Amino acid sequence: MTALTDLTLDVAAVRADFPILDREVHGKPLIYLDNAATSQTPSAVIESLSDYYRRYNANIHRGLHTLADEATAAYEGARTKIQAHLNATSAREIVMTRGTTEAINLVANSWGRANLAAGDEVIVSLMEHHSNIVPWQLLERTLGIVIRVIPVDERGVLDLEAYRGMLNERTRLVCVNHVSNALGTVNPVAEIIREAHAADARVLIDGAQAVPHQSVDVQSLDADFYVFSGHKVYGPLGIGALYAKASILESMPPWQGGGEMISRVSFDRGTEFAGIPHRFEAGTPAVAEAIGLGAALDWVNAIGIERLAAWEQWLLGHATERLERIDGLRIIGTAPEKASVASFVVDGAHAQDIGLLIDQLGVAIRTGHHCAQPVLAHFGLDATCRASFAVYNTPEEIDAFADALEHVLGMLR
232 burial via Cβ count (<10 Å: 0-12, 13-18, 19+): buried
What is the DSSP secondary-structure string of 204-239? EEE-TTTTTTS---HHHHT-SEEEEEGGGTTS-TT-
Torsion region of 114: left, alpha or beta (phi above 0 gives left; psi -120 to 50 gives alpha):
alpha
Distance of alpha carbon 315 from alpha carbon 327, whole angstroms: 21
**Measured in Å, how far apart are the chain's first and last C-alpha atoms?**
33
What is the DSSP secondary-structure string of 82-130? HHHHHT-S-GGGEEEESSHHHHHHHHIIIIIHHH--TT-EEEEETT--G
Distance of alpha carbon 370 from alpha carbon 238, whole angstroms: 19
Distance of alpha carbon 348 from alpha carbon 370, whole angstroms: 21
* Residue 371 annotated among the catalytic residues of the structure: yes
Distance of alpha carbon 81 from alpha carbon 223, whole angstroms: 19
Distance of alpha carbon 299 from alpha carbon 233, whole angstroms: 10
Using an 8 Å Cβ cutoff, are 204 and 174 in contact?
yes
Marked catalytic residue, from 21, 147, 371, 400: 371
What are the two backbone dihedrals, phi and then psi, of residue 131, each rounded to the nearest 5 degrees? -70, -15
Scored b (16 or more CB within 10 A) or e, 266-292 reads: eeeeeeebbebbbbbbbeebbbbbbbb
Q: Which helix (H) or strand (E) holds 24?
A: strand 24-25
Distance of alpha carbon 185 from alpha carbon 127, whole angstroms: 9
Using an 8 Å Cβ cutoff, are 185 and 335 in contact?
yes
Q: Cite the DSSP H helix spans in 222-360.
A: 246-251, 287-303, 305-324, 351-359
Cβ partners under 8 Å of residue 337, min gap 6: 185, 186
Catalytically active residues are: 371
